[in-house]
Every structure is written in structure tokens, then in C-alpha cells.
Structure 1
């Protein structure tokens, strides 16, 4: 019987050929046009994000100097922060679509300078995507990651800002060459390519406008009827006001409040029952509550001025701050501090009613803080202790 011989077949791998992209929407002029809008959105996001962070976590040297006016200040800055962040998602995706052919340039690295340029672009793209996507999940209050959102989001914001500045510095000659509509070579383009670019930019603007119109109503109430995509509606919730953290989530129950007392510590400490607190002189104020997730709404609050409670405990209005403690069993904002300017403002209240009704349990019954120009997470609910600092 004969012997069969098996010879392995030689496998030849095809040579790598990077894809070839055609069409003017992928050129530098298009990338520059979209980049201008994206850069503006990132600049607004960064500036308003700094305001939000330092209002929530002021350093010691700033804590007694934060301005309580204008009363709508935080509502405006945080509304802009979330609105421009949502617009930046659309703009970033279009920008990446316009430049992605450059990801396939061959050879991938031509020199040390080229390698550093590509590395800087990788950091910019990664950090920008991380920032806008985690921000989107934050306004939906979904946290599928193991890290704390606030410090990480704040740190990566600086990475994005530095990466944008570095990218602009490296690409300054190309950006300058394609900045104006009449840039060199633009007028010589075929009419079809010009129409394609114009259609892409018009479509991008329409997408940004649609996202803005269907979300900004959560804070800009004249457009609340168009609030279709935002996670909150300014009128939906107990007593006509949204609630982020319910009493059940905070571990506060009505039965646990039967023996509630307000404890105020200072040079002359004292304790008040709810009936005694209600007998003190009260102030009514119409103030917005504005949350870091981007929603906000005006409401009519009535309660005792914080400055009056501080003065009764022997504190010095205008000089002493207040530490506020909630009955909430756990949480990053269970204990909150108000600087001297906030504690002394006549509109900073220990509120007892909301829109003419006794506070519901989800809105902080029996008493909560409401103060002007302040993030919602610092408008502490279920207050049981005030400590004059």
C-alpha cells in the first residue's frame, strides 16, 4: 500500500491597505467648522462646571465668601452646564465622524512628533467621550461604575481642558487656514461637495436644536411643554416639585419623627419642638431649587430665617457659619455647611411649608433648608440639628 504525503498549504496574508475615504465632509474645513461649535460648548461646560463644583465643595478660604445672590445664579449656570453638555454629545459625534479617516493613516507613526500628536488626540478623544457620557448618565441618576462621580468628573474636566488647549496649539496653522468661510481652496470646491458640507452642518445644527428644545424645559420653564427627553419635568412630583431623593431612600419614616426636636448649638444652645418652631416669626420667599442634574423650578417657601436661629443661639450674624445635620441615615450630603454670607442672608430659611402646604415627607418634613443661589444637594432635608460655627 502506498504512502500518502501531506503538504501543508502556504497561507498568504493579504497586505494591509488602509481604507480610502472620499468626500469633502471628511476634510479639515468641515472638522474646523464643527470644532468651533464643540470648543464653545466645552468652554461653557468647563466654566459652569467649576461654578457648580466650588459651590458644592468650597475650599476653606472660599467657604465664607460664596455669594448668595443673584438668587437664580446657580439655576442659570447649572442649566447652561447640562444644556451645553447635551449639545456637546451631538457635536462630538459629528466631529469624530468628520475626522475618523485620519485614524487609519499609514504608517500609524511617522516620527516622534507625529507619535506625540496622535497620543494627545487619543487622550482628548477618550477624556471627552468619558466626560459627556458619564455626565449624561449622571443626569439620569444611573451610576454603573465603582468610583465616585463628582471628584472623577471634576478631575477629568481638567484633562479635557488641557487636551483641547494642546490640540488647538498643535493644530493652530490648519485651524487658521480653514477658519473662515472664504478660506483658501474652499471656493474652488465642486458645487456638490459644498452642498454636502452645508447639509451636514445644517443637519448638525438641527440635531443640536432638537436636543436642546426637548431637554432645556426642565430648567427653562417657558419651554417645559417641550420637555420630552429630559429625565425631569419641573412640575412633576409631590406638591408640584420634583424629588431626587425620597424619604424611603434616605431611611426617614413618619414614625421616626414623632419625637422630633430641632437642636441648635452655640454659645446659648437650645432645643425646639415643631410646635415651638412654628410659633417663631416666619418669612415667605419665592426661591428656585436647582439640582446638579439640570432641573430647576420656582416655589414659594415659608419658614424661620437661619440668621434668627443663629442669633438666638448666641451666634454673630454675618460672621458665623452653620453646620446642618439631616436625619438621613447615610449620604455624601447628610452633613452640610453654610458659610457666613449664606447663613446671614434674609432669604436663607429653615422652611416649614412649600407652596402653602406643610412639607411632605419626601420634601423634607418637618423642616428643610432653602437658600438662594445654592445647589439642590445642599438644600438639606429632614434637618434636626444646627450648629453655629
Structure 2
């Protein structure tokens, strides 16, 4: 039998390493003028986030020298600042992505580094972009109360906010000549764009679109704190009127580990020069006061409510505390970062600060802190301690 001829292998071209080329961008408006226009809005949003976030952090974790002097008025102060914080943060998400769209071709400049100054500039931009994205996206997940990370949100969010602030200031210093050239109605100087007239109409359309997106996000979320817009509160994770007794709940009694047995054996212990203990009927027999105060949560929602209870300063007096005393409040909550809360003298002395027993004309529900909770003006919701079991006059 004849042997078939061997098959010839096809000729393959030699393998060559891929050639990396920077991407090319044919679209217009990826330019300094567009970036400057959007950057103005983004700068305002980030500044509002930083200042209101700093105010919130100081109220929640004041330095010892300031703890006794934090203001309890205006009663709506924290409601306003935290509502602004969340609204500005949500607007910043839209503006940040619009800004990145305007500048992203410059992220692929070639060569990557041209000088020491250029390397420092690119490093500062990388830090700014990374930290800004981290802040707005983790902030978004925080208001939805979803924490898919292993670290504690509050201290990390606070620390990174300072990095963002420093990165923005450094970026402004490095880009000052370019920003100045494109700040007005027309670009000026050597950086002027040759196609400014042609691009002007497209740029205005882009900016109107970005502004409309910011407006939609704001109108459909700000109702969680600005109640006149509550009917339009479509995208926010909370609606201010939904919840037991007409008020939202972040942490339920079950989540806090507050059992029926613990409540059944409840006594209020007040420690001071003249310590005493009270049952719930004895506490309810003391002179009561009715107040209307908002409760404002760090996640951005807030709502006015009618509260009734015993003024905290009356309990301090009964325990022998002097005017100007501070207070430590302990909850039945089994564990949690806010199980123990400290109250400065401005809050403890304010006649509107109550150990509340009733909400909107009804006895407190379990999820709202039955049998007793703190309500105070101009105070973060996490410090309006629920399930209070002990007051310590300091």
C-alpha cells in the first residue's frame, strides 16, 4: 500500500508583541472650557458636602473642649445642614461623572509623564478622582444603609473628606492659570480655543443637560428632608411620613436586642448627688411638657413630630445636679456605637430637651424607644437615644 504524502503545515506569521497606542478622541467638548464650567458647580457641591459634613461630625463626636458649648438652637439647624449634605452629595455624583467625561481624554495623554511637575500633577489628579469617587459612592450606599465593606463608615468617610479637600485645593493651585483663562464667557489668552464659536452652542446644551439631571435628582430626593416636596420623593431611600407613628425607623428594637423581658423589668436610674430610680408610672406622674421638634437622621431624612415627656433638666435637678451639668445617657440596647451618649450642658439645660414618653399623641412604640427616649433640638438622630435606662449627671 502506498503511504499518503505528509500534510504540510500552514505557514503562520511570527508572533509579535502588541503595540500599545493611546486612544484617540474625536468628540468635541472634551476640553478645558467645558471642564471649568462643570468644575464650578462640582466645587460648590463638594464645598457644601465638606462644611455640612464637618458640622455633623463635630455634633456627633465633639472634641472634649467643645462638648459643653455645642448650640441647641436653632431647633432645625441639624435638619437643614444634613439635608443640604445629602442633597449636595447626590448632586455631586452627577457632576463628578460629567466632569470626568469632559476630562477623561487627558487621562490618556502620551507620554504618560513629561516632567517632574507633570508627574506631580497627574498624581494629584489620581488622588482627587479616587477619593472623590470613594466619598460620593460610599455616601450613596450609606443613605441606603448598605455596607458591603469591612471598615467602619463614619471615621473613614470623615478622614477621606479631608483628603478630598486637600486634593481639591492642590488641583486648584496647579490649574489656576488654565481655570482663569476659561472662567469667563469666552476663553482668553494663549489657551483660547479656535472653535469656541462653533462649540458654544453644543457646550450650552451639554451644561443644560447636566443641570437638568442635577435638578431631577435633587427634586426626587430632597423631599425626605424638605417636606413640601415629599410627594415628589421618588428616589430617596426614606419617605419622611412612612413608619410607625408617622415617623421612619432606622434601628428597630429587635435589631438593638431590646427584649420584652428587659422592658417589662424596666426602671429609670438617675445617678447624681441624690440618685433615685423610677418606674414608668412614677416617671409619667412627673410634670410633663409637650414640644414640636424635628428628628433628623444622618442619612438625610427628617420629620417634625409632637413629643411629650419630662424635661431632662428637671431630672438633673431632682438628682442634685447643678445648672450647667453634663449628662451621660445609657440605653437598653445590647451593643452599638451609640449605646452610650454624652450630652453637653447646652442641650441638658435646654427646656425643649425631653426624656420623651409619647410621640404624636401615642405612647412610644417599641421601635421608637419605648419606654423612654431622648429628644433634643438641633441634634443628630443617632444621638436621640432610644430605650433609655440610665441617666448619669456629670
Match of 1:107 in 2: 111
After superposing on structure 2, the runs of 4+ consecutive aligned residues of structure 1 that deviate more than 6 Å are 1-8
Match of 2:347 in 1: 342
TM-superposed deviation, 1:361:
0.5
Give, in whole Å, the separation in 1 of the partners of 2:9 and 2:283: 100
TM-superposed deviation, 1:181:
1.2
Give, in whole Å, the separation in 1 of the partners of 2:149 and 2:22: 36
Matching of residue 259 in structure 1 with residue 255 in structure 2: no
Q: 2:293 is matched with which residue: 265, 273, 287?
A: 287
Gaps of 5+ in 1: none
Matches within 5 A, 1:208-357: 208-317=214-323, 319-357=324-362
TM-superposed deviation, 1:339:
0.6
CA distances 1:312-355 after superposition (whole Å, capped 9, x unpaired): 000012x2111000000010000001011110000000000001
Indicate if the aligned counterparts of 1:251 and 1:328 stay in contact, CA closer than 8 A: yes
Q: TM-score, normalised by structure 2?
A: 0.95
Give, in whole Å, the separation in 2 of the partners of 1:110 and 1:6: 46
Indicate if the aligned counterparts of 2:222 and 2:229 stay in contact, CA closer than 8 A: yes
Match of 2:155 in 1: 151
Number of residue pairs aligned between Structure 1 and Structure 2: 388
Matching of residue 200 in structure 1 with residue 200 in structure 2: no
Gaps of 5+ in 2: none
Give, in whole Å, the separation in 1 of the partners of 2:182 and 2:138: 32
Q: 1:33 is matched with which residue: 10, 28, 37?
A: 37
Higher deviation after alignment, 13-22 or 219-228: 13-22
Give, in whole Å, the separation in 2 of the partners of 1:342 and 1:190: 57
Give, in whole Å, the separation in 2 of the partners of 1:300 and 1:382: 18
Indicate if the aligned counterparts of 1:254 and 1:361 stay in contact, CA closer than 8 A: no
Give, in whole Å, the separation in 1 of the partners of 2:91 and 2:192: 27
Matching of residue 50 in structure 1 with residue 54 in structure 2: yes
Give, in whole Å, the separation in 2 of the partners of 1:294 and 1:54: 17
Match of 1:67 in 2: 71
Q: TM-score, normalised by structure 1?
A: 0.97
Match of 1:64, SS?
Answer: helix
CA distances 1:17-66 after superposition (whole Å, capped 9, x unpaired): 32221333201000000000000000010000000000000010000000
Match of 2:100 in 1: 96
CA RMSD of aligned residues (A): 1.7
Match of 2:218, SS?
Answer: helix
Indicate if the aligned counterparts of 2:181 and 2:192 stay in contact, CA closer than 8 A: no
Indicate if the aligned counterparts of 1:349 and 1:369 stay in contact, CA closer than 8 A: yes
Match of 1:10, SS?
Answer: coil
Match of 2:80 in 1: 76
Match of 1:94, SS?
Answer: helix
TM-superposed deviation, 1:191:
4.9
Indicate if the aligned counterparts of 1:290 and 1:374 stay in contact, CA closer than 8 A: yes
Indicate if the aligned counterparts of 1:24 and 1:197 stay in contact, CA closer than 8 A: no
TM-superposed deviation, 1:307:
0.2
Give, in whole Å, the separation in 2 of the partners of 1:193 and 1:356: 61
Match of 1:371 in 2: 376
Give, in whole Å, the separation in 2 of the partners of 1:363 and 1:19: 57
TM-superposed deviation, 1:192:
4.4
